[in-house]
Chains A and B, each alone.
Chain A
Amino acid sequence: MDTILVAVAALSGTSLICGLTLVIADRFFALHEDARIEQITALLPGINCGGCGYAGCSDYAKAIASADAPLNLCAPGGIAVLQALCRFMGVESAEQEHRVAIVLCGGDDTKTVHRFRYNGVADCAAAASVAGGDKLCRYGCLGYGSCARVCPVNAIEIIPHRLAVVHPDLCIGCGRCVRACPRGIIKMIPAIRTIHVLCSSKDKGPVVKQACQVGCIGCTLCTKLAENEAIKMDGALAVVDYSKPLENEAVIEKCPSHCIVRIPASRHENHSCTLSA
């Protein structure tokens, strides 16, 4: 009996001292950090894609906690995260338009002319800096997959014959591919849109025709068919104005180069949430 008591006493005594040490240490090492930052970080998706413009999810959380940043910057999080953030910060309503990426080029190897054979690093930035890229069109997609490699959710596929294509359903809208493309032909567009001009070439019609079978030749037919100036000309290139609605499918059929296409919309919807008080 004695032995057991001694044992228990010894262990208890040691534990007590250890515990006291830790309590003191906790006070000494206390972190004066806004407790909300950790809570907000937990609400965010945690993939650190940088789409919000901050260095990572915890960085964005810090900005939110110090009321420096709007709540709707997290594209991958979508409506779920927006609602959670609104609830947490006590904000009544916020809007966020879901955007996905699109590669504005339709010229794979079978449709384009090449100036030379490129033999080097299979990276778009590297290929673009060697004699200006092997495609005759200096605006076209090089198809070496730099965008696909940075996509955190593998939403970009390099289809056979070297062309990058974004799958809108998988795209979370983080924007990393936009930054990775050395030609700058990936753009963020509203997820609900379906009609697109798949060309970025600013060259004039005859030059484009020499370089690519599906390039915009600047015939301006689509600008006349599209309602209320939803397609405008930027020099010799037709550009869709995504702030205006565009429903007329005639632009797709009438385009002589077949560079206007219909891509099924992403199933994600525009987000706006309003919290009832």
Chain B
Amino acid sequence: MKTIRAPYQPRGGVHPRYHKELSASAPIFRLPLLPLLRVSMSQHLGPPARPVVKKGDTVTRGQIIGEATGYVSAHVHAPTSGRVRGIVDALTPTGAYAPAVEIEPDGQDTWASTIQPCSHWEDLDPRELVRRVAEAGIVGMGGAGFPTHVKLSPPAEKPIRTLIINGAECEPYLTADHRLMVERAADICTGARIIRRILGGPRLWFAVEDNKPDAIAALEQALGAGGNEDVGIVRLKTKYPQGAEKQLIFAVCGLEVPTGGLPMDVGCLVENVATTLAVWDAVVNGRPLVERVVTVTGSAVARPANLLVRVGTTYADLLLHCGTNGPVAKIIAGGPMMGLAQPALEIGIAKTTSGLLLLPPDFVSVFTSVPCIGCGRCVGACPMRLLPSELSKLLEAEDYDGAEANHVMDCIECGCCAYMCPAHRPLVQHMKQGKARVIAKRAAKASRKTS
């Protein structure tokens, strides 16, 4: 076991002010139960889950309330015991509407009888481990929400040689993963070993940015000085977006994921530390994913904190605990670079919500954009080696074929280009629109071919 400096440096990226000191030393605090939980059926990539309870039903903690629809989908479980108040059409953090199960907790927090802890996971078949992960409804908690059991089942012709546990947390303001590593390092390591067993024993790296020395120390202690050569810690240079999957793989292995490809194409797999901890909880304790750590922070928050909350807790309830100090101009779910601005306070925390950021008016800029001045700053900042200036001009001119040819589909929407742009152009919005149109175009072409 050794700790090394990251051998490679991904290109591009920016160095924003991090403001992590607002909450980095706040220990994880378990939020007490509040009167209502609004659990969305759409907390993952893929079609929403189908509600399997109805108004008036009694549920226990960990009981399935929404079944996965299809292979790339995930179960949704009741975060606590109580009564189903109803199934409503509710806003999700993306602004879309999806069915949500409203639960009134009974205060008992009784676990479902189907929970089966397991003390000898090392003896279980890897497929049984994956089944437990699937049953637990675990999705990528770094923000993408990709169902983990699908990610942990790569095809046989794409063996995984390197497993990277992503503790980079490169987004400014967010400290949830940081606190998890400091306080739960031992369980995270066990979770990583479980995933390693599922994938057939690849090389295991824990990747942490060097602005979190206490997290690195905690992991070092948990892993021990043992002679296991296949496990190690990589200290990453602090840069945004160091924690993005493709950039992380490059920093650790020096491999570039091919355009339009996936990490498994270069034999790598990346899992967030929170997801890894959820895997541990699911396998060892038999518990499904029903709660997560959310960093509530920003200069408009009176008492920034890292809260362990049940899925479905509304933003309003989180703010009751943390309080505001002054006017709030913007609320962001996630970090300031890739997070989404939220239109309402009654939206419930999803499995993928890593932070709630409240910004006062002087931290929010309202801009008017002008045509591209051709300065090239965006090109230097893009971690995916794209030409954001060219792409945004093509997308403004609605040339979606040209945009596809210029690799708009490889954009990871990190926001580095928009961050650097002196003309305040809404580059990420252009990219998102462009990607949606290219996907629609491809789907139309596919359906024309088959019809």
Q: Let me know if B52 is at the binding interface, CB within 8 A.
A: no
Given contacts A116-B343, A120-B426, A121-B429, contact A130 B95 (CB under 8 A): yes
CA distance in complex: A120, B427 (Å): 10
Do the beta carbons of A132 and B95 come within 8 Å of each other?
Answer: yes
In the assembled complex, how far is the CB of residue B118 from the closest CB belonging to chain A, in whole angstroms? 42
Q: Let me know if A117 is at the binding interface, CB within 8 A.
A: yes
Given contacts A131-B95, A131-B340, contact A119 B436 (CB under 8 A): no
Do the beta carbons of A130 and B429 come within 8 Å of each other?
Answer: yes
Chain B residues with CB below 8 A from A243, complex form: none
Chain B residues with CB below 8 A from A132, complex form: 91, 95-97, 343
Chain B residues with CB below 8 A from A116, complex form: 341, 343
CA distance in complex: A116, B430 (Å): 20
CA distance in complex: A40, B433 (Å): 38
Chain A residues within 8 Å of chain B by Cβ, number: 16
CA distance in complex: A13, B340 (Å): 79
Q: Let me know if A8 is at the binding interface, CB within 8 A.
A: no
Q: Let me know if A138 is at the binding interface, CB within 8 A.
A: yes
Do the beta carbons of B95 and A117 come within 8 Å of each other?
Answer: no
Q: Let me know if B377 is at the binding interface, CB within 8 A.
A: no
Do the beta carbons of B366 and A138 come within 8 Å of each other?
Answer: no
In the assembled complex, how far is the CB of residue A118 from the closest CB belonging to chain B, in whole angstroms? 9
Q: Let me know if A7 is at the binding interface, CB within 8 A.
A: no
Q: Let me know if A21 is at the binding interface, CB within 8 A.
A: no
Do the beta carbons of A115 and B429 come within 8 Å of each other?
Answer: no
In the assembled complex, how far is the CB of residue B8 from the closest CB belonging to chain A, in whole angstroms? 35
- Other-chain residue from B343, B366, B432, B433 in contact with A119 (beta carbon distance below 8 A): B366
CA distance in complex: A132, B91 (Å): 9
- Other-chain residue from A121, A125, A126, A129 in contact with B95 (beta carbon distance below 8 A): A129
Chain B residues with CB below 8 A from A119, complex form: 366-367
CA distance in complex: A121, B366 (Å): 13
Restricting to B80-136, which residues have a CB under 8 Å from any CB of A?
Answer: 91, 94-97
CA distance in complex: A138, B340 (Å): 18
Most buried by A among B91, B95, B344, B436: B95
Q: Let me know if A157 is at the binding interface, CB within 8 A.
A: no
CA distance in complex: A119, B432 (Å): 15
Q: In terms of DSSP, what is the predominant structure of the interface of chain A?
A: loop
Do the beta carbons of B344 and A129 come within 8 Å of each other?
Answer: no
In the assembled complex, how far is the CB of residue A37 from the closest CB belonging to chain B, in whole angstroms? 22
Restricting to B113-171, which residues have a CB under 8 Å from any CB of A?
Answer: none
Chain B residues with CB below 8 A from A97, complex form: none
Chain B residues with CB below 8 A from A131, complex form: 94-95, 340-343
**Mask of B318-358 contacts with A, CB within 8 angstroms, 1/0:** 00000000000000000000001111100000000000000
CA distance in complex: A246, B96 (Å): 37
Chain B residues with CB below 8 A from A138, complex form: 97
Closest A residue to B340 using CB positions: A131
In the assembled complex, how far is the CB of residue A156 from the closest CB belonging to chain B, in whole angstroms? 17
Given contacts A130-B341, A131-B343, A132-B97, contact A117 B366 (CB under 8 A): yes
In the assembled complex, how far is the CB of residue A178 from the closest CB belonging to chain B, in whole angstroms? 16
Chain B residues with CB below 8 A from A133, complex form: 95
Do the beta carbons of A121 and B341 come within 8 Å of each other?
Answer: no
Closest A residue to B396 using CB positions: A121
CA distance in complex: A116, B91 (Å): 15
Do the beta carbons of A129 and B343 come within 8 Å of each other?
Answer: no
Q: Let me know if A229 is at the binding interface, CB within 8 A.
A: no
Q: Let me know if A123 is at the binding interface, CB within 8 A.
A: yes
CA distance in complex: A75, B340 (Å): 42
Chain B residues with CB below 8 A from A126, complex form: 429, 433
Closest A residue to B367 using CB positions: A119
Closest B residue to A132 using CB positions: B95
CA distance in complex: A125, B365 (Å): 23
**Mask of A95-132 contacts with B, CB within 8 angstroms, 1/0:** 00000000000000000000111011101011001111
Do the beta carbons of A115 and B344 come within 8 Å of each other?
Answer: yes
| Closest 6 pairs between A and B when the two form their complex, measured CB to CB | A132-B95, A131-B95, A131-B343, A115-B343, A120-B426, A120-B429
List 11 A–B pairs whose Cβ atoms lie within 8 Å, in order of A's numbering: A116-B341, A120-B426, A121-B429, A125-B433, A130-B429, A131-B342, A131-B343, A132-B95, A132-B97, A133-B95, A138-B97
Kindly list 20 other residue pairs between chains A and B, CB separation below 8 angstroms, not including A120-B429, A126-B433, A129-B433.
Answer: A115-B343, A116-B341, A116-B343, A117-B366, A119-B366, A123-B433, A125-B433, A126-B429, A130-B95, A130-B341, A130-B429, A131-B94, A131-B95, A131-B341, A131-B342, A131-B343, A132-B95, A132-B96, A132-B97, A133-B95
